Amino acid sequence: MDAVDVSEHYEVTAADNSPSLLSIVLDTNPRAWAALDSSLSLAQAISNILVFVNAHLAFSNANQVAVIAAHVNRAVWLYPALQRPSSTTVKDNSGDVQMQDASAEAHLPPPSANKYPQFAQIESSVFSSIQTLMAETTVQDLDQLTTQLSGALTLALCRINKAAQALSSSDTTLSNAAPVNATAPPPVKGRIVVVSVSDSDPSQYIPTMNAVFAAAHNQVAIDTISLAGDSTFLQQACFNTNGIFLKAANPRGLLTYLMFGLIPDTEARASLITPTHDTVDFRTACFCHGKVVDTGYVCSVCLSIFCSPPDNAECLTCGTVLALGNYGAKPAVLPRKKKKKKKIANGSGREETGSATGTPRP
Amino acid sequence: MSINPSLSLAEYLERLPGTTFKKLYQQPSTTFAIFRRMLPHLAKTFVMRMLFLPHPMTLADLDAWVKPEAKRKKDQSLSILRSLHIVQISAPSKEKPQEIQLMSNFKRSLRLALTGGGNHNSFGVPSSLMVPPEIDLPFLDRYARKKWEDVLHFVVSSVGYKSSLGEGSGPNKGVKELLIAGQLVDRRPNGSLGITQAGFTFLLQEANAQVWTLLLLWLEVLGNNKSSGLDPVDMLSFLFMLASLELGRAYDTNALTEERRNMLPSLVDFGLIYIPQHKRSMFFPTRLATTLTSGGNSLRTISEGVAAATQSAQTSQQSLGLLGGGGTGEQAGSVVIETNYRLYAYTQSALQIAVLALFAKLNMRFPDMVAGRLSRASIRQAINFGITADQIISYLSAHAHEQMHRTAALTNKPVLPPTVVDQIRLWQLENERMKTTSGFLFRDFTDDKDYLDTARFSEEIGVLVWRNDNTRMFFANKHEQIKDFLKSRKKAE
């Protein structure tokens, strides 16, 4: 009779095994990979990443994967491959280019009996796309030293968003009527893994951070494995989205870093202790010269950051004329007040930050 | 011949001896399928982390991976990994800490499956012949649905609700005999067939679990029948291989072994594969086969993922319908139940309506919907049929409408209204005031510490059902691992 106890409710909830979508952003900067070639070549790295992709897909047959190359001048889909544009590019109503899960070209190679069919498809798609990409890279492109990271992050977020919408509801009318609750778990566990080999480009600070905040809002974690270079912004990206930042001291062990550090998805991380990094580089890039700065001048109206006071004390972004005050002047020493300090009446203890709300975080 | 009808795949595998697992893990496709289907999420993460480790690692290191509050989850994961012979843990001793590593067979095969090397042909040899153009995905889905529907109709048509189908369209004779041998239906004294309680359990399961139930029955029947010359281990491995094949592709039957070729006719009867009439040397796996490794609820969410969204609504509806549960044109989630016990089902499927009619009083029928309500009388009637409250509740939650899931997610409440769930159970409890759990009683411990340690261990691995510290007794539903634990304790002393 214990079962008819008053307090206990028999909670019947669907088990949480929503699919998990992994987007891999691979930095394909040719210069950076050439510098790294002695320890880890690009081909080896891609093979390692493919094993990692297969491991992710092995978790469940609802899991999905996308691989995006962040190249010197653009971001390119490696998997799912974009359909080769024939004479006219296929566009649907919203102007999106139609994508196919590489099944269209599956008839080309005879599938091997020693490989899971899906793995073979991804492999052939990634390899052929990266060959096309490298063949299309011109000498002029190589003048660029940095990588189009923000574009690749945005593509990855679009993909996750699209998958989430496709899964959440077949009938959009109902979902539009229901209020969107920020605490409700997203239908897809999205995650972006960035394989970074080059420095962060200060000119991309704003688009990158926009992508990062969008990811944080959608509860998408950004993980980074940094093989070389100084990826300041990615450290912040991982910090803001509760992702993992790994600095690979030995790039040759890429597979071990991936399989050990980055295999747990957001669900498994609830019960695992994730690797942490104690120092996060929070420096930002200034808006005027694109320099990475520790301290700078901030416009009190639009929060733009400048490394030196702008000309005529006029904000370059919003045009507000700013009063500079006497910055750098010697502070005057005030005599201490005699009166005993009263307790602060509405003792919020909160510092004046100038804005009513904090930085939006989910 | 005694067969436990409500055997799940996990229970079946757990009973297999370790040598069987060694054989199973020789094939990468089998290893891959067991990994995907049988393990909880955390266990999969553990396996992946250990997969490329060259040396065994200590248990203490594994403990350090896991947050303290998830210790219970970790212990359960480890216990499943051990019972499936995936990891081996060295015996505790004084000089060396306990170490854990993957079984070498399992490790090698899973690595091969992920890296795609070797020459094992375990992912199916594709047929080189021309594929007839009329065989496409909708065709295979229609075919599989028809076959599976026949099986379900055969089971369900033996209860009060008469199906609209004629007698001639039932499943093959072999399948019928299998269902009778598995006690899903039994022969009544007057010669007619009647559904059993196991049959109800079967009906109320999800499609994937239904397929497995039937396949396991089949394995047992053939396994007991030595003259058939079939090796259950090889058959199981073949089924797992089928699960890793690609839907819509033709495979070569000549590449299969003799025994496996002999299995094909039965698999055709179940609707797992399709063999064209005029081309006997190729076979097509259907969706029933290729989704064998997807676990429980992912059947609903998978909906072929993003691909389904880009496909036309028509075909995605069909694929959903096939996977949804009943196998007929029934949608994945179609049942809405309200706190006032009213029930609405958006379905046209005669089968699903028949199942609902078992435990609900249906009073309205529209072209695409039926409405009714749960009442004390209707639940009592269902219980008299031999359906339990748990079965009804799990059926309702498995078939809950998407809107129910959405509202539940928004308000952070359970999917089914708790009042209804509680009331269904109360109605059952009215005439059935006890719940039995089969298991083992442990008592007569020598001292308190002995008792507490063992009880704590059994709680950690999730088998403890009841304990009473005063009398030093506890009750667990499985004893194998407790036995090992007691043995290793003795040794350590």
Chain B residues with CB under 8 Å of A51 CB are 114-115
**Per-residue pLDDT for A185 more than 60?**
no
ipTM (interface pTM): 0.73
**Per-residue pLDDT for B300 more than 80?**
no
Q: Residue range B375-401: average pLDDT?
A: 82
Q: What is the pLDDT of residue B294?
A: 65
The mean predicted confidence, pLDDT, of chain B is 77
Inter-chain touch B298–A60, beta carbons under 8 Å: yes
Across B90-111, b (16+ Cβ under 10 Å) vs e yields: eeeeeeeeebbbbbebbbbbbb
Q: What is the pLDDT of residue A154?
A: 92
Strands in chain A per DSSP E: 20-27, 64-70, 75-79, 189-196, 221-226, 245-247, 284-285, 292-293, 297-298, 305-306
Strands in B130-285 per DSSP E: 185-187, 193-195, 251-252, 273-274, 282-285
Q: What is the pLDDT of residue A152?
A: 92
Query: Is A270 an interface residue toward B (CB < 8 Å)?
Result: yes
Q: What is the pLDDT of residue B161?
A: 40
Q: Residue range B69-92: average pLDDT?
A: 86
pLDDT more than 90, % of chain B: 4
Q: What is the pLDDT of residue B302?
A: 27
Mutate to test the interface with A, among B257, B301, B394, B434 (most CBs of A within 10 A): B301
Inter-chain touch A55–B114, beta carbons under 8 Å: yes
Q: For chains A and B, what is the number of CB pairs under 8 angstroms?
A: 193
Q: What is the pLDDT of residue B310?
A: 24
**Per-residue pLDDT for A192 more than 90?**
yes
Q: What is the pLDDT of residue A180?
A: 43
Inter-chain touch A113–B393, beta carbons under 8 Å: no
Q: Residue range B124-130: average pLDDT?
A: 76
User: Between the CA of residue B373 and those of A9, B322, B343, B353, B379, what are the distances in Å?
Assistant: 21, 26, 5, 13, 10
Q: Residue range B352-365: average pLDDT?
A: 84
| Most confident range, picked from A61-75, A159-173, A343-357, B129-143 | A61-75
pLDDT band at B448 (very low <50, low <70, confident <90, very high): confident
Inter-chain touch A58–B36, beta carbons under 8 Å: yes
Inter-chain touch A17–B296, beta carbons under 8 Å: yes
Q: Are B354 and B155 in contact (CB under 8 A)?
A: no
Q: Residue range A256-285: average pLDDT?
A: 83
pLDDT more than 70, % of chain B: 82
Q: Which among A12, A58, A110 has the least Cβ separation from residue B416? A: A12
Q: What is the pLDDT of residue B304?
A: 29
Q: What is the pLDDT of residue A326?
A: 67
Inter-chain touch B294–A51, beta carbons under 8 Å: no
Query: Is A319 an interface residue toward B (CB < 8 Å)?
Result: no
Q: Residue range B86-109: average pLDDT?
A: 85
Please name each of the domains of chain A with its CATH number: 20-85+96-172+183-281 (3.40.50.410), 283-330 (no CATH)
Chain A residues with CB under 8 Å of B415 CB are 12-14
Inter-chain touch A183–B412, beta carbons under 8 Å: yes
pLDDT band at A24 (very low <50, low <70, confident <90, very high): very high
Which has more confidence, B206 or B4? B206
Chain A residues with CB under 8 Å of B302 CB are 19, 61-62
In Å, the largest CA–CA distance within chain B is: 74
Task: Quote the CA–CA distance of B474 and B458 in Å, as a whole number.
Answer: 9
pLDDT band at B136 (very low <50, low <70, confident <90, very high): confident
By C-alpha distance, the chain B residue nearest A264 is B45
Q: What is the pLDDT of residue A169?
A: 53
Chain B residues with CB under 8 Å of A174 CB are 402-403, 406
Chain B residues with CB under 8 Å of A44 CB are none
Q: Which residue's entry shows tokens 């031999």?
A: B386
**Per-residue pLDDT for A49 more than 60?**
yes
Q: What is the pLDDT of residue A110?
A: 57
pLDDT band at A156 (very low <50, low <70, confident <90, very high): very high
**Per-residue pLDDT for A12 more than 80?**
no
Inter-chain touch B302–A62, beta carbons under 8 Å: yes
pLDDT more than 90, % of chain A: 11
Task: Quote the CA–CA distance of B58 and B328 in Å, as a whole number.
Answer: 51
Give the distance from residue B402's alpha carbon to the nearest chain A alpha carbon, in angstroms: 8
What's the residue count for chain B? Answer: 493
Q: Which among B396, B418, B435 has the least Cβ separation from residue A9? A: B418
Inter-chain touch B298–A183, beta carbons under 8 Å: no
Please name each of the domains of chain B with its CATH number: 9-115 (1.10.10), 137-290 (no CATH), 333-431 (no CATH), 440-492 (3.30.70.2610)
Chain A residues with CB under 8 Å of B313 CB are 170
The mean predicted confidence, pLDDT, of chain A is 75
Q: Residue range B374-393: average pLDDT?
A: 83
Task: Quote the CA–CA distance of A196 and A267 in Å, as a whole number.
Answer: 24
Give the distance from residue A88's alpha carbon to the nearest chain B alpha carbon, in angstroms: 20
**Window 101-120 of A, Cβ < 8 Å to B:** 101, 110-120
| DSSP SS3 for A309 | coil
Task: Quote the CA–CA distance of B146 and A359 in Å, as a whole number.
Answer: 57
Q: Are B200 and B232 in contact (CB under 8 A)?
A: no
By C-alpha distance, the chain B residue nearest A163 is B306
Give the distance from residue A113's alpha carbon to the nearest chain B alpha carbon, in angstroms: 5
Chain A residues with CB under 8 Å of B28 CB are 114
pLDDT band at A355 (very low <50, low <70, confident <90, very high): low
Chain A residues with CB under 8 Å of B308 CB are 166
B400 Cα distance to chain centroid: 19
**Per-residue pLDDT for A356 more than 60?**
no
Chain A residues with CB under 8 Å of B407 CB are 178
Mutate to test the interface with B, among A59, A61, A191 (most CBs of B within 10 A): A61
pTM of the model: 0.72
**Per-residue pLDDT for A4 more than 60?**
no
Q: Residue range B98-109: average pLDDT?
A: 88
**Per-residue pLDDT for B35 more than 60?**
yes
By C-alpha distance, the chain B residue nearest A265 is B45
What does the pLDDT look like over B239-258, one tens digit per residue? Answer: 888 888 888 788 888 878 88
What does the pLDDT look like over B193-244, one tens digit per residue? Answer: 767 767 776 776 667 777 888 888 888 887 777 666 677 788 888 888 888 8
Q: Tell which phi-psi region holds residue A207, choosing left (phi > 0), alpha (psi between -120 and 50) or beta.
A: alpha
What does the pLDDT look like over B304-332, one tens digit per residue? Answer: 222 222 222 223 333 333 333 333 333 45
Give the distance from residue A71's alpha carbon to the nearest chain B alpha carbon, in angstroms: 26
Q: What is the pLDDT of residue A349?
A: 45
**Per-residue pLDDT for A287 more than 70?**
yes
Task: Quote the CA–CA distance of B292 and B207 in Å, as a whole number.
Answer: 10
Q: Are A241 and A221 in contact (CB under 8 A)?
A: yes
Q: At B342, which helix (H) or strand (E)?
A: strand B342-345
Q: What is the pLDDT of residue B317?
A: 34
Q: What is the pLDDT of residue A53?
A: 92
